[in-house]
Amino acid sequence: MVATSCFAEQLTRHVPLSDAEKTALTKLEENPRKIKRGAMIQRANEPITELFVLREGRVMSFVILPDGSRQILRVYFPGDFIGSASTIYSRAPESLVALSDAVVCPFDKHALRRLLEEHPRVAALLFLLSNAERVSMTDRLASLGRTSAKARVAAFLLDMFHRLRVTDDNIKDSFELKLTQEEIGDSIGLTSVHVNRMIRQMEQEGLISRSNGRITLLDVKRLEDIGHYTNRHKDMDLDWLPAS
Amino acid sequence: MVATSCFAEQLTRHVPLSDAEKTALTKLEENPRKIKRGAMIQRANEPITELFVLREGRVMSFVILPDGSRQILRVYFPGDFIGSASTIYSRAPESLVALSDAVVCPFDKHALRRLLEEHPRVAALLFLLSNAERVSMTDRLASLGRTSAKARVAAFLLDMFHRLRVTDDNIKDSFELKLTQEEIGDSIGLTSVHVNRMIRQMEQEGLISRSNGRITLLDVKRLEDIGHYTNRHKDMDLDWLPAS
DNA sequence: CGCGTCCTTGAATCGGGTCAAGTCTAGTGG
DNA sequence: CCACTAGACTTGACCCGATTCAAGGACGCG
């Protein structure tokens, strides 16, 4: 048994890895770095050569438009692979900021190249997970483009919930959001004021409840209905990956 | 010189390929199939095992929400790789319909697996391009979440324009849209009525002009400004890919 | 010629944004 | 232990951009 990294652990949830593969992945996490809440990890438009594995805490990626408004693109959880854009662009298309105190493990993109060369199976797996991210992105597109404010909030909460559950088995029906209502709004294309209205409404209707930053989903079925949510994590099927 | 496939041709725009790689890619396109405008290539939620290379024409992917509204996720052009979702999901997350008469080359996902196994460099390249798609998806997210109707139309037109130019060098300032205004609306989260109003307004302001389905961009600079558009195709940098 | 699809335009409506004025809470320092 | 403060949450009144509804026009095709 080799010491498994945070990233390898995430990947083995999908498909078994050989020890050699695990060791290689662990190398990516040799340089953990502590990050304070609110600190910027990467600034949009600046040259980049690093990627990251998020080991602890939460990180968000976002862009700021010329009029000053912000679109949050994604919230990352421990085990996530961050900054894959730097594999293709020499300048960062998006900014990265820690939403909570966090630990990230930066590594050079050439280290990733070597990994892909030496472990084609890992390359294939990363390709697949990149496709999965693309699909979850399309779900959000549909949410922003075609659903009401209430539906977006519902879908957002469900997405957080199910993603957290992938790595944390003891989450039953509640979780720490760790995002302000303004940040929620910036994720789903609403103002903080309207996010607040929707959340209160959903609380009054008995869909959710809150106590100091913790959200409890009281009626997941109805939330899924309101948010037009489909849980993609269920029917993933990576069987066809090259055998190890 | 081996006969290059449509897909290989697309890839070599980014990075040189060996003859062996080209041959392998060409194999994916052994079974061209003609598709009529409007025909469904893949229906959301149905089992899938096939992927496609689009050789001719245009194809769109979309989802229909329970209330009947449609979100178009992406418009594909010749040389594009379609349906990468089937690498991870056994049921299609999105539908595929031909926007014009088209030729697609279906291939089994196991053929892709063999390709990834035998040609790790191609696997890495696909991983990169998948990342590029993810980035262009985030651009659209920001557009839908945080910009006005006019900005979205401008960004949409510029995106079509620049993507067509990647493969077609003789496009100077005009192109065939081949989408109805309703389809444009379903791409950018607007109604066809409002798309029409924005297009007419932009026409009156001298930003664009139209004649029987052909759009001419008269003032690209100002359009980019209005649409908060950034052309991602320019500063792609795939140099670090494993050497062939 | 007639029919269907797409485009165009106006009027009324509404969802969500904006502005503004609180309230609540966790820190902070005296 | 309490006053002070800053950031986040809450709520109301008003406004505006986009949708909805509806009706007509243009064009291509069988």
Distance B153 CA to C17 C1' (A): 21
Distance between B154 CA and the closest CA of chain A, angstroms = 15
CATH 2.60.120.10 applies to domain A6-132: yes
pLDDT of residue B197: 98
pLDDT of residue A86: 84
Give the nearest partner residue to A242 out of B66, B93, B113, using CB atoms. B113
Q: Is residue B90 within 8 angstroms of chain A, CB to CB? A: yes
Decide if B7 contacts B25 (C-beta within 8 A).
Answer: yes
**Does residue A1 carry a pLDDT above 60?**
no
Q: Tens digits of per-residue pLDDT, B155-187?
A: 999 999 999 998 888 899 999 999 999 999 999
Domain limits, chain B:
6-133, 148-227
Q: Tens digits of per-residue pLDDT, A138-150?
A: 999 999 999 999 9
pLDDT of residue A14: 83
Q: Is residue A69 within 8 angstroms of chain B, CB to CB? A: yes
Q: Is residue A235 within 8 angstroms of chain B, CB to CB? A: yes
pLDDT of residue B150: 98
Superfamily of domain B6-133: Jelly Rolls (2.60.120.10)
Quote the CA–CA distance of B40 and A176 in Å, as a whole number.
Answer: 42
A9, two tokens: 């652990």
Which bases of strand D have any atom within 7 Å of the beta carbon of a protein residue?
7-13, 17-22, 27-28
**Does residue A3 carry a pLDDT above 60?**
no
* H-state helical runs in chain A: 6-12, 19-27, 109-118, 120-146, 149-167, 181-188, 192-204, 220-227
| Nearest residue, CA→C1' of C5 | B180
Share of chain A above pLDDT 70, in %: 98
Band the pLDDT of B221: cuts 50, 70, 90: very high
Spell out the residues 6+ positions from residue B80 whose beta carbon is closer than 8 angstroms to its own: B10, B53, B54, B59
Q: Tens digits of per-residue pLDDT, A17-41?
A: 899 999 999 999 999 999 999 999 9
Interface of B with A in 92-111 (CB under 8 A): 93-94, 109-110
Collapsing DSSP to helix, strand or coil, A196 comes out as helix
Most B CBs within 10 A among A138, A194, A229, hence the mutation to make, goes to A138
pLDDT of residue A2: 52
Quote the CA–CA distance of A109 and A24 in Å, as a whole number.
Answer: 14
Residue reference for tokens 């084609």: A120
Band the pLDDT of B34: cuts 50, 70, 90: very high
| Strand intervals (E) in B12-150 | 33-35, 40-42, 50-56, 59-64, 70-76, 81-82, 95-98, 102-108
- Residues A55-84: what's their mean pLDDT? 95
For A31, B111, B131, the CA distances from B85, given in Å and listed in that order, are 33, 15, 14
pLDDT of residue B181: 98
User: How is chain B split among helix, strand and coil, in percent rounded to 5?
Assistant: 45, 20, 35
Q: Tens digits of per-residue pLDDT, A101-120?
A: 999 999 998 999 889 888 98
For B28, B42, B103, the CA distances from B32, given in Å and listed in that order, are 10, 16, 6
Q: Is residue B14 within 8 angstroms of chain A, CB to CB? A: no
**Does residue B217 carry a pLDDT above 70?**
yes
**Domain covering A148-227: architecture:** Orthogonal Bundle (1.10)
